[in-house]
Homo-oligomer: A and B are copies of this chain.
Amino acid sequence: MLKGFNYPLTPKGKSTLNPTPPWHYSADFLEIEFWAEPAAVAAVLPQGLDPDRSANGHANALFYDWQFSGANEEYLDPSRYQYREFFILVDALFEGKPVAYCPYIFVDNDAAIARGWSQGYPKRLGQVFQTRYYAATGKAGPALAAGSKFAGSCTSAGHRLAEAVVTLKEPVKDLSVLRQPPIVNLLHTPRLAAGKQDKPAIHELVENVPHDVKIEQAWIGDGSLKLPVCHGEELSDLAPVRCGKGIRASLAYIVDDLKTLKDLR
């Protein structure tokens, strides 16, 4: 019997892109709140999700420096399992309930692509960076202090897709300010068979159900974001009309499940 969760399936299961869940994650992240044109947000929503008119184009841009592990100390193989990520979450409604939908996401690692596609995150490869905080601060390592700045950027297929800065104001005292609506994705697997290329094998709305979420070292302040126009890319259609708060924090959680909300086929 071949073993593995993602490709490739092999005799010992060591070559697979990912071990079987549970999947453990830790990260530092930047989050920038913004408002896009409401029509542009409505346009990226899949069937089954409705625009949240009251949100007025509200969205978040997120930069994550991730570390991943399964049960076998995969965090000790960082060349295979450490990665960086940029993504967008837009406000939407599922059966009248607020959710966040991810139309665009970029990572720099194949194991992360595979896990993402298993969860409905439409990941492409990108080069993603964010300013780091170090315990030893100085002019190159900003302190966790009012006025400190942290920047993020994402490039894919040679084009700069996103640039952001978070300027810290104060530590987050009430973590409820970080609470997000559940993330609902479009899980999609195409069919290459002739005559079925418009009939995907899988096409459903799914809800991410991470647990054991921990947040540490959270600071809040101002966010700024640019989504430049690039040939062959649509991300800039969500360019900010205005930006809101900015967050910098560390986060850990576990993923071992996915909930199907609706089959769209």
Contacts and interface: CB of A to CB of B under 8 A. Distances in A.
A5 interface: yes
B44 A134 contact: no
A192 B5 CA distance: 9
Interface residues on A, range: 35 or more
A256 B194 contact: yes
A140 B67 contact: yes
A152 B73 CA distance: 13
A159 B160 contact: yes
Contacts of A15: 104, 124, 232-235
Interface of A: 1-2, 5-12, 14-15, 17, 20-21, 24-28, 43-44, 46-47, 65, 67-69, 71, 73-80, 82, 103-105, 109-110, 113, 117-119, 122-125, 127, 129-132, 134-142, 149, 151-153, 155, 157-160, 163, 165, 186, 188-194, 197, 201-202, 212, 214-217, 230-235, 237, 249-260
20 contacts: A2-B44, A7-B188, A10-B103, A11-B237, A15-B235, A25-B138, A25-B140, A26-B132, A27-B134, A28-B135, A67-B140, A74-B140, A76-B165, A117-B117, A118-B191, A134-B250, A137-B214, A138-B212, A155-B155, A194-B256
